[in-house]
Structure formats: C-alpha cells, structure tokens
Amino acid sequence: MFIDIDFAQQKKHNQNAYGDYFSSKRVPGRLIAVLSDGLGSGIKANILSCMTATMLLKFIEAGANIQKACEVVMNSLPVCKIRKISYSTFSALDCHDDGTVQIVEEGNPQFVWVRNNKEILNPQAQTITSNTFSNRHMQFYNIKLKKNDRLIFCSDGVTQSGLGSPNLRLGLRREGLIEFILKKLEGKPDISSRELSKLIVDFACRTEVDKKAKDDISAVAIYCRNPRKSIVFTGPPYHTDKDNQYAELFKNFNGKKAICGGTTANVISRELNIPVNTRISLTSGSLPQPMEMKGIDLVTEGILTLTRTSEYLEAPETVANNDAAGQLVKFFLDSDCIDFMVGAKINQAHYDPSLPVEIEIRKNIIKKISKLLEEKFIKKVTVQYI
C-alpha cells in the first residue's frame, strides 16, 4: 500500500505570502505531515505557521510520540495580545506503512475520512485539554486506513469560504466540503491527491464572494493505493557485457519506463531490438525533442534534459510543458515510486574542455533530482548505479 499525499494552497487576496504552511516527510516506514494555519495573514501568519509546522515535524521525526509532541507545542504556543488566542492552529499526522495513523488536531477543521470513495467515516476522538491554557483543546485520533481510503485536511479558509454570501451565510462548512469531495470522487474514482487538493482549493476560491480568497486556503489530500511505479534508465552500464542483463531488467519492470540519453537509447534499442524513431521536428524549446520507442513511455536526450529537469523541479512554476524536460517532470510527478538505473560509463566527449561547463556529471544530477523528488515532492526514490 502506498500513501499518496499532496497539498495545494491559495493565499489571501492582496497578500504576498501564504499564511498556512504545510510540511511533510517520508522516513523509513512512516510518513509525517503537519498543516499549520498562522494567526492573521501575510508575512506574520507565514512565519507563525512555518515555525509551528517545522518544529512539530522535527519533533515527531526525532521520535517523539505525536500526542506528546503536539501537547508540548499546544502548551507553549504564545497568545496574541490583541485577539487573545493562540498564534497558530495545526493538524499533525503520523502515518505508518501498515495503515495505522495517529492524528492530532488543534484548532483546524476536522479532517474528512472517505472509504471506497463514498462512505464518510467518523472516528472517535480523545480530547486533551492544555494544562497551561484551559481554552486550548486538541483532538487525538488513532485510526487504521485501508486501501482506497482517503483523508482530507484543510485550513478554515476552505470551510469558511463563501461566508456571508446570500446562499452560504455560514460559509461552505464541512458538509459542503464533503459534498464536493464525494461528487469529485464519483466522477473520477482514482483521482490523485495532487489533483484532488488542487480541486478543493480552486472550489473554495470559486465559492468566495467575488471569487477572492478572504483567508488563506489550504487542502491536504491523502490517498492509500497501489503505488504507481516507474523506472528511469540513464547512462550506459559500466560493463558492456552486462548491457543485455540490464536491458532485460528494464524490459521486465512492471510500471512506466523512461530512457534519458541518446547512447542509452541505442544500447536498449540494440539489446531489445526496438528501433528508435525520431520525430520530424528536431527540437522543442531549447532541448532536443523526445524520441519514440515502442513500449517505452518517454525517451529523451540525457544530460541537458536532466539538468533542465532538476531546474524545473527546483522551481515548478517555470516548467515549459512542451519540452522534453517538462515531459520528464510530468512523468515523475505522475509516479509514486521512482527507480533510477544509472549507468556509470562516462562519455569522454563530455569532458572536452571546449564544451560548455553546463554539462554536469550524470551521478551529480541524479543525486540532485532524487533529493528533490524525495524531499520536495515526497516520492519514494531508489538509485542503483550499474
């Protein structure tokens, strides 16, 4: 079972910083995530929520019991002098590979648990009151997820969207959110967490009066499902006599396949007897166009495309969808588990001093890409040097 987690957010209208903060991390056997909503909006809220989420995540990751960690944070959050309420609210979860999840909520709307895309489950919560501030309570849940279960967490920007409009005097509320989620799940039962969280945020923005966000709006979606696996073969194997063995491994991989590298494509083409077809147009953007090989989902040039891909992953808003690197980014983001088979053979020609210095060493780029995929996009990545 794989836990697909993603989030989307929108900042309050006219603000230049997000007041909600989401952070998550996969550690062996576990997935930890925290969504925090900072008091107010803009920079101040951004700093408050960022601090709360980061501290909690580190705390839980370091091995503290989630309930204990949250209690410490709840007891120590300062009080705003003007509003007399705590500086930030949060939802934290510690999800184990066997499906058991501990969830703590303090001030955020209650999460939504959907089973089989139609049934809403209402788990029992244990209320824990702060021993320093009697008006602070946190809800503790211990639940067990099954395959196809989904969890949706959001900031109050979602449940309160549309507040004051003639047909939603009290805003969307949790009921409205549930109705929307179920409708979307009916239309697309295998929707990814990335898409669902984005849809929820867009819907909340549309629900607002004048379609302008009155508060920071964030949604986190979790989906338990079979992992979408993919493999990337880049670089020819160090020992030429093992080309066939690795090509066969690649062929028999159960999932999506990509090749990054002209020579690598030639090696696979030779070993598996699949011709490489180049398209008529030679380039797209400033990168060579992807090529086509039967049975392989994406075939691109190597170093330049990978370098651009790592730049795109660093700044996803700059992705150009029509070039090879943009397609590779999509390939990565549509996968949960990504295996890299990195051939260690070097192309001497790349070390020619007359070539631009941008030509990086393959191992370094893959290291960079895999780190980004793991830490920023929460993918499961393995790298094998061959």
Check residue 350 for interaction with other proteins (CB under 8 A): yes
Check residue 355 for interaction with other proteins (CB under 8 A): yes
Structural contact between residues 5 and 220, judged by C-beta atoms closer than 8 angstroms = yes
Scanning residues 151 to 180, which ones bind other proteins (CB under 8 A)? Answer: none
* Interface pick for other proteins out of 19, 40, 302, 326 (rule CB under 8 A): 302
In the shown chain, the binding pattern of residues 281 to 300 toward other proteins, with x for contact by CB under 8 A and - for none, equals xxx--x-xx-x-------x-
- In order, the DSSP letters of 185-210 are HHH-TT--HHHHHHHHHHHHHHHSGG
**CA pair distance 250, 232, nearest whole angstrom:** 9
* Interface pick for other proteins out of 62, 82, 280, 315 (rule CB under 8 A): 280
Length of the chain: 386
Check residue 129 for interaction with other proteins (CB under 8 A): no
Check residue 354 for interaction with other proteins (CB under 8 A): yes
- What are the phi and psi torsion angles at 106 (to 5°)? -135, 100
* Interface pick for other proteins out of 212, 279, 371, 376 (rule CB under 8 A): 279
Task: Work out how close the CB of 261 gets to other proteins at its nearest, in angstroms, rounded to a whole number.
Answer: 8
CB closer to other proteins, 199 vs 293 = 293
Identify the CA nearest to 82 among candidates 40, 38, 133: 40
Identify the CA nearest to 204 among candidates 160, 246, 270: 160
* Interface pick for other proteins out of 154, 172, 304, 328 (rule CB under 8 A): 304
**CA pair distance 380, 374, nearest whole angstrom:** 6
Cα dihedral 79, 85, 88, 91, rounded to 10, equals 130
Check residue 322 for interaction with other proteins (CB under 8 A): no
Task: Work out how close the CB of 283 gets to other proteins at its nearest, in angstroms, rounded to a whole number.
Answer: 5
Residues that bind other proteins (CB under 8 A): 261-263, 265-266, 276, 278-283, 286, 288-289, 291, 299, 301-304, 347-350, 352, 354-356, 358-359
